[in-house]
Amino acid sequence: MAKHEDTRIDVAPKLRASMVALLDARLADTLDLYTQVKQAHWNVKGPHFIALHELFDKLAEELEDPVDDIAERITALGGVAHGTARMTAKNSTLKDFPDGRIEGMKAVAALADRFAALAKSTRAAIDTADKAGDADTADLFTGISRGLDKSLWFLEAHLT
């Protein structure tokens, strides 16, 4: 694990290190999801093209703040945010998005699976941070969880 910088935040160094690791794992997945949504945005085809193209762009945009918030919490705790494409690819736990052009509803289903997976791991992160005693990190993940659930709802509405 990388050396952590000193900070005046009154979170014990051992707790900060564990929260940085937890945050960095979700950063990789959230950045990966962002790029997968953009991949869908660029390559979606079919009769619902324009509606899905616009939806995917909006969903990607809504992931930008959570990515930034996670990375800034990492650095506030004295850690280093690992956010390059290579770092993200190496550390993400999400399934790869299908390569090439993708039919609209297949893209929706693939993204719904990935939003659900990230929402699940984010809820687990809420519990981990809460049990560890870092209410601020738990609260950060709680807000992100709500946004992921809303995005999942939008995607699933197309699948019924």
pLDDT value, residue 1: 41
| Cβ partners under 8 Å of residue 148, min gap 6 | 115, 118, 119, 122
Domain covering 13-157, topology: Ferritin (1.20.1260)
For 109-130, what is the mean pLDDT? 98
What separation in angstroms does the CA of 67 have from each of 16, 42, 78? 19, 21, 17
Arithmetic mean of pLDDT over the chain: 95
The CA angle 15-140-32, to the nearest 5 degrees, is 95
- Range of lowest pLDDT (7-11, 44-48, 136-140): 7-11
pTM over 0.85? The answer is yes
- Higher model confidence: residue 130 or residue 4? 130
pLDDT value, residue 8: 87
Per-residue pLDDT of 150-159, as tens digits, reads 999 999 999 9
pLDDT value, residue 2: 47
Residue 110 in this model has a pLDDT that exceeds 80: yes
For 99-111, what is the mean pLDDT? 97
Q: What DSSP assignment string belongs to 40-84?
A: HHHHEESTTHHHHHHHHHHHHHHHHHHHHHHHHHHHHTT-----S
Per-residue pLDDT of 57-91, as tens digits, reads 999 999 999 999 999 999 999 999 999 999 999 99
The CA distance from 118 to 5, in Å, is: 28
pLDDT value, residue 7: 86
pLDDT value, residue 3: 54
For 21-29, what is the mean pLDDT? 98
